[in-house]
Amino acid sequence: MEKSLTGIKVIQLANFIAAAATGRYLADHGADVIIVEAAKGDPIRYTQEQEGRPQNIKENVAWEYLNGNKRCISLNTKTEEGKEALFKLLEDADVLLTNWRLGALERAGLDYNTLKERFPKLVYAMILGYGKTGPDKDLPGYDFTAFFGRGGYTQNLRRRGNDPITMIPGLGDNNVGLMLAMGIVTALFNREKTGKGDLVTTSLYETAIFNMSMMLLGVQYDGQAHNYPISIYDNMNPMNGAYRTSDDRIIQCACPDYNPRFEQFMNAIGRQDLIEAGKYYPQADMIAAGLIKELIDEIQKTFLEHDVKEMDEILRKGDIPHSIAFSWEDIMNDPQAHAVGAFYDVTCPNGVVRKATHTPVRLENEGELEGRTAPMIGEQGREILKEAGYDDAKIDAMLENGSLYIWEDKD
C-alpha cells in the first residue's frame, strides 16, 4: 500500500533526538527523509555507555528507532560546495527539519527569513528549547532541562521530602517530536490551499507546559495544585492511588470520578465494610473529615493480602481501571505491546538483530509500519547527489576536498 506522505521530501538538518523523532514519524508514513549529518556523526551515535550497548557504531538501537526508514548524506556545510549541495537538495524539498539554535542558523545563512525568499513553498520546521521569542529563546535546551526541569516534572513528580527522580532520556524529546510532526502535516495541508510554505515551531518548554495543563490551570484556585510535591497521603482521591501487593509489585488505579465509582471500587476489592462505615463517601465529606490517610491505609491493607496476579484479576473482574506497574523488561515482553506492533526486529549493520520501537500512530489504509535499517554516516550520499543532478566526477571531487563524506567499514 502507498503511504500517505509518499512524494514528500524532508531534509533533516538536526541531531540528537527530538527532531529525529519528527523525521521518523514522517518517514514511517512514506516521506523521503534525508539526514544531513556531519562527518564525525550525530552525537546519538556515541551514547553507548549510558545505554549499555556495545562500543560499536554498527549496533545502535537508539539510532535505529530514531532514524530507520531514512537516507543519509554527510555534507560539510561550512564549505562552499557543501552548502551549495544543501541548497540543491532544498530546491525540490517540501520540508526542512532542524533543531539548530537560532543564532547558529542565522550565522550559517539557514534561518527562515533568509530561506523563505529562495524557497517560498518550503515548510520550515524547528524544534527549540524554550521557543522562538522571549528572553530565553537562545538558551540551549535539552529535555532534562527545558522539558523536565523548567516544565515542572523534576520539582513535582517526587514524594515530598525525597530526592528528585532520575528522568528518562528521550521521553520529552519524543513527545515534542511528535508535536512538531503534527504541525508539519498541518502546514503541508495548508500549502495545498495557499501554495505557500510556512514556519512551524514548537519547543520542549511549550510542550511541557501543555502536558502540565491540569495542574497549571488548577494552581489558579486554592486547591491541590499548590501542595506539590506531595506524599502518598496527600492524594485527594485514594482510588487514584498506587498500591503494593504481597509480592512487592505496584498496581496503579485510576478512578478520577470518586463519587460515582466509590461503591464499585470497594465492592470489587471486597471491602463492603468501607461502604457501610458511611464516612468515606461523598468525597468532599471524606476530605473534610481528614480521612484520606485512613482510607489509603485500608485500601493498602487489602492489596497486601494478594499477590499481583490475584489483585490484577480481582480488579479486572470488577472492571476497575488499573494497571500493573511494568518494568522495562515487562514492557519488552508484553503480548499487548507486540500485538499493537510497538516493536520490530532490526538487523543492525553488524548483523545483530535487536528490537526497536515504532512511532505510535497507525493508518489503516497504509498497512503495517516498516522498519528499514537506519543509515550509516553519509551512506546514500552518492545516490542523493545523483538525484540532484551531480555526476560522478563532481561527487568524487567533493569526497576528495572534504565537502562530502561517506562512511567506510574498516573492519
CA distances from 95 to 191, 295, 321 (A): 11, 55, 42
Nearest alpha carbon to residue 39 among 71, 66, 63, 73: 73
Contact 90, 9 (CB under 8 A): no
Cα(86)–Cα(398) distance, integer angstroms: 13
* Paired strand residues for 200: 125
Q: Hey, which residues does 128 pair with through a beta bridge? A: 203
85, 385 Cβ separation under 8 angstroms? yes
H-helix or E-strand containing 49? helix 48-51
Which residues have CB under 8 Å from 310's CB, separation 6+? 245
Question: What is the CA angle 408-410-411, rounded to 5?
Answer: 130
| Bridge partners of residue 139, in order along the sequence | none
Q: How far apart are the first and last CA of the chain?
A: 38
Choosing from 28, 173, 234, 392, which is the catalytic residue?
173
Instruction: Provide the grid cell at 279.
Output: 464516612
Task: Write down the residue that cell numbers 528490537 correspond to.
Answer: 355
Task: Tell me if residue 136 is catalytic.
Answer: no
Q: Return phi, psi of residue 347, to 5°.
A: -90, 110
**Catalytic site residues?**
173
